[in-house]
């Protein structure tokens, strides 16, 4: 039996939430993100802003050059997370097989439901619109790869200046035919560098890829060459993964202006370390690898790490190790643009909190 997989993507999610909170933003060019004077970037932008060439990850300074009247809205991540969870709850009403892949994106396996995939997608889209006031686009296919590509295709080809609200269905057996005319960079696993290498041998579309001997692709890309051939045919048997293991926890900050002051850098590392420690404890995890990330004013970035014999979730230990790494790479007076502290090698914490530890955490101390 063919699987029925949905891929759901909330359209311009952060902006859609902000429009719910402030109706005066509707139809106007605005962006959610950081202030230009703080080197902020665009996290999300309205469709009116997109029409002017503004896009996610663009420096806010550049966005303002394109649209001097652009409204900048500071992000409210806690609110977005709360509303995202409300969306995910509605997905889980349909099926327990839900794989959330980001705050605004998820896969669902609805193979056990008797209704056609397109009908279920339309019902789900209407539910999210009517109950939460949010637009979304959905791809329907027999696997995750094609469902995701279908969503992207539908969003890209939607007409009008507002949210796409697209539903794109790829019937069973038509996966390869759907993919073949698409540009090769639309295929999962093909980034800009891979696309350039493929272009050098005449591969511009996914269909072109199928005319290249697999052995030649394996020489060019290693094992990924075989995977590219499978994906180009629309073959993907990956299951829905309902839980993802956290692999690392990190905190970083980009300074509004490059910082040379040792005390400021030191206090920033301590604050970031404390935040990482709190996240570890909140998640009942301990870390065996502490990492430091530094970006210099020329945008070059380095990272260093220390592996611990005994995993920790203690702020003081994380602070000590992060500062130790810092002083190995920083020279007095050298300017820093960004600094980050991370924890890897995560595993479940086995110690039990004492009554006093619990009391301290619950009181915020």
**pLDDT tens track, the chain, 365 positions:** 789 999 999 999 999 999 999 999 999 999 999 999 888 889 999 999 999 999 998 999 999 999 999 999 999 988 999 999 999 999 999 999 999 888 899 999 999 999 999 999 999 999 999 999 999 999 999 999 999 999 999 999 998 889 999 999 999 999 999 999 999 999 988 888 899 999 999 999 999 999 999 999 999 999 889 999 999 999 999 999 887 667 889 999 999 899 999 999 999 999 999 999 998 887 778 899 999 999 999 989 999 999 988 889 999 999 999 999 999 999 999 999 999 999 998 887 754 333 333 444 444 44
Q: Give the C-alpha separation, 67 to 57, whole Å.
A: 16
CATH number of 177-232: 1.10.150.20
The set of catalytic residues is 105
Q: Which CATH class is domain 8-136+145-169?
A: alpha beta
Q: Check if CATH label 3.40.50.1370 holds for domain 249-362.
A: no
| Ranges of each domain in the chain | 8-136+145-169, 177-232, 249-362
Residue 102: helix, strand or coil by DSSP?
Answer: strand
Q: In what order do the strands lie in the sheet with 285-295?
A: 249-259, 336-348, 285-295, 301-312
Task: Give the DSSP H/E element, type plus range, for residue 140.
Answer: strand 136-141
Sequence-ordered list of residues with C-beta below 8 angstroms from that of 157, at least 6 positions apart, any chain: 166
Rounded to two decimals, what is the model's pTM?
0.73
Q: Do domains 8-136+145-169 and 249-362 have the same CATH topology?
A: no
């Amino acid at each position: 039996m063919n699987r029925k997989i949905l891929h759901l993507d909330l359209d311009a999610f952060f902006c859609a939430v902000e429009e719910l909170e402030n109706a005066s933003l509707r139809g106007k060019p605005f962006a959610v993100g950081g202030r230009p004077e703080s080197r902020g970037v665009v996290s999300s932008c309205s469709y009116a802003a997109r029409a002017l060439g503004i896009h996610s990850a663009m420096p806010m300074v550049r966005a303002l050059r394109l649209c001097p009247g652009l409204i900048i809205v500071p992000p409210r991540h806690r609110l977005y997370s709360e509303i995202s969870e409300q969306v995910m709850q509605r997905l889980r009403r349909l099926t327990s097989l839900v794989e959330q892949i980001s705050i605004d994106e998820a896969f669902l396996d609805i193979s056990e439901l008797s209704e056609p995939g397109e009908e279920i997608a339309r019902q789900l889209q209407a539910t999210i619109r009517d109950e939460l006031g949010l637009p979304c686009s959905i791809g329907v296919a027999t696997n995750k790869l094609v469902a995701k590509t279908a969503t992207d295709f539908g969003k890209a080809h939607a007409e009008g200046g507002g949210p796409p609200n697209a539903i794109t269905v790829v019937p069973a057996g038509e996966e390869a035919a759907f993919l073949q005319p698409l540009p090769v960079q639309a295929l999962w696993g093909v980034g800009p560098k891979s696309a350039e290498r493929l272009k050098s041998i005449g591969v511009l579309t996914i269909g072109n890829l199928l005319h290249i001997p697999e052995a030649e692709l394996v020489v060019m890309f290693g094992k990924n060459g075989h995977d590219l051939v499978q994906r180009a045919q629309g073959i993907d048997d990956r299951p829905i993964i309902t839980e993802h293991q956290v692999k690392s926890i990190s905190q970083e900050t980009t300074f509004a202006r490059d910082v040379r002051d040792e005390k400021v850098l030191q206090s920033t590392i301590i604050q970031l370390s404390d935040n990482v420690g709190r996240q570890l404890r909140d998640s009942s995890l301990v870390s065996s690898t502490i990492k430091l990330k530094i970006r210099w004013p020329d945008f070059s970035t380095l990272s260093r790490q220390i592996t611990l014999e005994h995993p920790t979730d203690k702020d003081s230990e994380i602070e000590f190790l992060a500062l130790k790494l810092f002083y190995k790479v920083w020279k007095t007076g050298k300017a820093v643009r960004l600094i980050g502290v991370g924890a890897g090698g995560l595993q479940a914490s086995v110690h039990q909190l004492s009554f006093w530890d619990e009391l301290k955490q619950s009181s915020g101390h």
